[in-house]
Structure 1
């Protein structure tokens, strides 16, 4: 049974925030998330951390500026998730703004795997680039960079993943998590890192006086590169079409909708710097200035652009974008983010929506088979869950691991067959176990078990030989038993305490929906005992409730729960704005309930 705990906060800090003009209830919420002063909530771009402290970023800006001036060909090599797709779109759009000749490829994950491998470099070489720019990958690509160097292709790495013991021999690396980087925030997503590189590039070009000089006029055309046995690689080619003087430097803020999407979708910690990026991006989307692709994906999901929040980015747009990389080719998603044609964006969004529906069906089947396999196993007997099914889809095992992790509160690694000899796994962890570090420990103790691995504290990927699966499962469990305590294995549901009847207001719910919430800065949830005045099942699996608190009736809904509740229960819930027939009303979204 999960344990419900109220978030701690300093009453003095909450009062300081309230004295600055924040409502007492919101002040309490912010104080519980570590906010100490009102200026930490300011979302202006002037409050962004300076790019100047990021290791390697000035050197990379110089190399990119020289490449643009010399007319060199740049090739962006992207990752196949939403962060990689948005980082690629930001790179292509941003470099295009500065007059670069730029193309992109995004390797098919099932053919080439993750990162800048030697095989991907050989594919990239067919574009005859002078420079490869990685986005959201490359920090672990030692062999791939070596292959590019052998072919005479310069590599610029932009990444945010944790490095391994050896760094690639790239011409330049920008990654806030690389050794010796003093940049204060280590939580930038891959798209955030690329955005910062563009900020530095703009400063370099500004210093050179480029914005008063003639630059090649930008023209776009889409190309395909195909070879026998290889998937197509899409490119966006920037071609000179006469010359024009650029009198006004490019406004990089136009890219913040993409930065916000990738930051939220990659579930990085929303520290103050990331919250500014997301807040600014959301403001652009709500004002109707988002790119055609994001607008089309929101419309496909029947969401109002004016009311978009970080929730829609993470749970509506992100999954539809990710579906392309999970099931087919992420170039479809990147093209959606790059087009400025609303009709083309609508068609690409339709295709992405279809892929997402297919992904949901595959995921449901996989989860059913996983739960069936676990019927003979008590998850509480161990500290981890490591599963493999030869019928599982490589592109969906990460979502499966996440669902099982949420259900059983254990670190989970789900494996699918990569080929006859290799299994690929995707893992999700719980607080208390740094997943990448745990895999590193397994690798050091049992060098023969893991072929490759990488990732973050809460999510990681790993490859093992088929015959080593059981040995890996035992080694991973042994490491987890050392690192996890009994308390770590008990799920804790944190809340912001109770609300009085007077605090159940539509106005408060609206104000919450306008804030930026996410990983490390969680959406507020509350708890309390309510009377259940009425209940009925809607949509075959959801419970529509009318609750009562201190004589005040309150509408509520409990998703994916159709069992009848007793007359009274203790609920954990969030506040939401329910819109029906043009009328808005307060609704509680029940997240957890307990009763005798």
Structure 2
């Protein structure tokens, strides 16, 4: 699908310092950056005392540590859950906790969250306190089961809560009603980091470190893990999240990160000293996620906890192999899904507003990525389902701008009681389970609800451009400045530009990547460019000599030389 190009309106940028180039000033101003936001130092982080429930949770955990109770960290099976678990395990160890362990439910055996079944496993581990990370806000029955067994339960989460909260001993979730914490976009790992910061302060007030003869830990050592989880979970990079991510990236660039992250960067062929946020999102995060998608996320956690670089490399290599297997599965499933839509692809009017897909042999661990790929291709909200056994289909949903997916599922649930077994999530992504025999009914209800709440113009995909660059502005210096002006990410998008170019050379590299040499229309500047995963039915084509291109500026490094390269987001023949 060729997306419509929409250029950002010019805005006042006079409040920003002149040390930035005029282009960067305009880019920052258009994203709402204030002069104060330009300095991403840790001293500007939001204060922990504004997060509801943080103090009481810290006190409960401090009591458990002092009483030498068995503490179990209960994480989710994605990268946010793995990093959250790792942050808590490492921080608790640094603070002198002696009886700590973690448990990540296998998605195929136990499903998502603190279920009664996984509580039974926790009981077998003799857990006296459970701390959930990146999950738990919807675990009503699981918390009841844990409380019935005499366990103390602390919930830490960032997902949107339902109408009823679990009866936990403490709940820390910036999205719960009444929480004044300003960063509602914080990831689960960010919540876990804040909790550990509050716990450190609580133990300090009790003279714990002096009594135990240990040094008060520097939790800044964990910020590389926090940055990884924040970027990998694709939460909005508001100012607070950007501070956390930037601090973590600086640790990696300085060679002071966890050996597990170093090993994952190595297998992904990324240079730590030149890392940017997107490397966490597109290279490290998927390899970490592969463990939870296809196997046990414990492998991902152990990689992050590892202290031995040789062992970390072996585990990272195993994660890399799992990720390759995941990619193969995803490609096969995507081809099957696209084939099922071929009949309506030629007529956009027949394409459902909401695409629901199911095939009995699809893998549960890959349906989220599949939904994302189909959503990107058709610019429609997508839910992909896999058979979870026991008469249940498990679905993973991805939305588009203007449609709040969790709210939509709640609307469908209210109209069709009992069809959806459970659901939860965010505006842009959600998970659900439905009864196996209800797929056709659900697919129709899903499409009907979307047609009711979504404005039709939102079904047209858009690429928001920061404008056209002149030949004089297409420089390595500007690319370098923009690269260091991040971290860029969700809701703080990396600058995109558009323009018309003459195609001088075009060829396929790899299997389906288009390598080009472009020339500005005035003929003054020649540029290397690359477009990934192009439609081979269209490219290469020697008869196409002019194109409208939407691109990012990139710094290409080869054998120590740095050159300007355009990373093409969309190319359309003219």
Shorter-chain TM-score bucket reads over 0.9
Q: CA deviation at 1:290?
A: 0.7
* 1:122 paired residue number: 120
Deviations 1:363-415 (A, max 9, x none): 00000100111112346422110010001000000000000000000000000
Q: CA deviation at 1:535?
A: 1.8
* 1:507 paired residue number: 477
What pairs with 1:188-267 in structure 2 (closer than 5 Å)? 188-214=186-212, 245-246=213-214, 248-267=215-234
Distance in structure 2 (CA, Å) of the matches to 1:536 and 1:442? 48
Q: CA deviation at 1:18?
A: 4.3
Pairing 1:409–2:407 present? no
Distance in structure 2 (CA, Å) of the matches to 1:71 and 1:536? 64
Q: CA deviation at 1:16?
A: 2.4
Which of 255, 275, 278 is the matching residue for 1:288? 255
* 2:344 paired residue number: 377
Distance in structure 2 (CA, Å) of the matches to 1:127 and 1:269? 36
Pairing 1:570–2:548 present? yes
Which of 563, 576, 582 is the matching residue for 2:560? 582
SS of 2:553's partner is strand
* 2:526 paired residue number: 553
* 2:64 paired residue number: 67
* 1:5 paired residue number: 6
Q: Aligned pairs, how many?
A: 561
Distance in structure 1 (CA, Å) of the matches to 2:260 and 2:9? 41
Distance in structure 2 (CA, Å) of the matches to 1:380 and 1:335? 49
What pairs with 1:428-577 in structure 2 (closer than 5 Å)? 428-514=398-484, 515-549=486-520, 550=522, 551-561=524-534, 562=536, 563-565=539-541, 566-577=544-555
* 1:171 paired residue number: 169
Distance in structure 2 (CA, Å) of the matches to 1:438 and 1:342? 46
SS of 2:117's partner is helix
* 1:162 paired residue number: 160
* 1:591 paired residue number: 569
Pairing 1:85–2:82 present? yes
Distance in structure 2 (CA, Å) of the matches to 1:436 and 1:57? 26
Q: CA deviation at 1:358?
A: 0.3
Q: Which shifted more, 384-393 or 535-544?
A: 535-544
Distance in structure 1 (CA, Å) of the matches to 2:91 and 2:416? 44
Q: Which shifted more, 581-590 or 309-318?
A: 581-590
Pairing 1:32–2:48 present? no
Distance in structure 1 (CA, Å) of the matches to 2:172 and 2:24? 37
* 1:16 paired residue number: 15
Deviations 1:271-322 (A, max 9, x none): 0000000000000011001101100000111111101110110000000000
Deviations 1:75-95 (A, max 9, x none): 001100000000000010011
Which of 300, 320, 329 is the matching residue for 2:267? 300
Q: What is the RMSD computed on CA atoms of the aligned residues?
A: 1.1
SS of 1:511's partner is helix
Which of 40, 53, 56 is the matching residue for 1:56? 53
Stretches of structure 2 lacking an aligned partner (at least 5 in a row): none
SS of 1:134's partner is strand
Deviations 1:331-358 (A, max 9, x none): 0000000011111100100100000000
What pairs with 1:350-365 in structure 2 (closer than 5 Å)? 350-365=317-332
Distance in structure 2 (CA, Å) of the matches to 1:448 and 1:167? 20
SS of 2:321's partner is helix
Deviations 1:562-589 (A, max 9, x none): 5135211111000111122221110001
Q: CA deviation at 1:595?
A: 2.8
TM (norm. structure 2) is 0.96
Distance in structure 1 (CA, Å) of the matches to 2:88 and 2:511? 45
TM (norm. structure 1) is 0.93
Q: CA deviation at 1:191?
A: 0.2
Q: CA deviation at 1:420?
A: 4.7
Pairing 1:97–2:94 present? yes
